[in-house]
């Protein structure tokens, strides 16, 4: 039995993430937590998030989680979801400029095509740019559910493992050592989303 810490800093529907993980890992402890020590002692970390990046960074700081996130992603399997992807980057255009965690070099920018409906919401295909254990048993260009107005632009394209097209191609999945992070919501993406979560739970 392993312990999976779902970082709960008051931003987003983390209960749906917990329920999805409990479904794919019924024998593991899938715990919502804002306790830095519990996160450090856990076997795996899931880092979800919804809302504004500035508010999320403030919530992480108030819960003394920033240093723990920066430490833990290096030492154990780490899954970022939606804003949990964007927060990993240096900065965002949101709120006239917001600093991120600076774990992944790059920035977060807003969709600017006036012909597009913003936020990008609903089902869309994800092209698997490179093979990865978390893509196991998921067909290329499978559809996942997203809700977001911003997207990430990594400095180093080597970390790009998935892309999606919405007016133009944007990065929807990255990987770096123990870290895998996605712009979409696997917990809302039915069988393929559950498969990705199952792959994460068993990723070594």
Peptide bond into 31 cis (omega under 30): no
Strands 104-110 and 89-92: parallel
Q: What are phi and psi of 74, to 5 degrees?
A: -80, -20
Catalytic residue (choose from 30, 56, 159, 185) = 185
Catalytic residue (choose from 120, 148, 159, 187) = 187
Catalytic residue (choose from 30, 56, 82, 159) = 82
Q: Is 187 a catalytic residue?
A: yes
CA dist., res. 132 & res. 9, Å (int) = 29
Give per-residue burial for 32-62: e unless 16+ CB within 10 Å, then b.
ebbbbeebeebebbbbbbbebbbbbbebbee
Q: Is 56 a catalytic residue?
A: no
Q: Is 185 a catalytic residue?
A: yes
Q: Tokens 């290096």 map to which residue?
A: 74
**Catalytic annotation, residues:** 82, 185, 187
């Amino acid at each position: 039995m392993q312990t999976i810490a779902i970082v709960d800093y008051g931003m987003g529907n983390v209960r749906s993430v917990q329920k999805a993980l409990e479904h794919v890992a019924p024998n593991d402890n899938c715990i919502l937590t804002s306790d830095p020590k519990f996160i450090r002692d856990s076997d795996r970390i899931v880092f979800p998030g919804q809302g504004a990046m500035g508010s999320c960074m403030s919530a992480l700081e108030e819960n003394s989680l920033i240093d723990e996130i920066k430490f833990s992603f290096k030492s154990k399997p780490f899954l970022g979801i939606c804003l949990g992807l964007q927060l990993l980057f240096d900065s965002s255009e949101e709120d006239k400029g917001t600093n991120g965690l600076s774990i992944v070099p790059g920035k977060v920018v807003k969709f600017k095509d006036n012909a597009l409906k913003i936020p990008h919401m609903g089902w869309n295909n994800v092209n698997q740019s490179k093979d990865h254990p978390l893509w196991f048993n998921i067909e290329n260009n499978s559809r996942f559910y997203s809700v977001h107005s911003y997207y990430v632009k990594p400095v180093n394209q080597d970390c790009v493992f998935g892309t999606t097209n919405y007016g133009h191609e944007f990065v929807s999945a990255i990987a770096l050592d123990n870290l895998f992070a996605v712009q979409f919501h696997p917990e809302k993406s039915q069988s393929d989303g559950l498969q990705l979560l199952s792959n994460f739970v068993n990723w070594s």
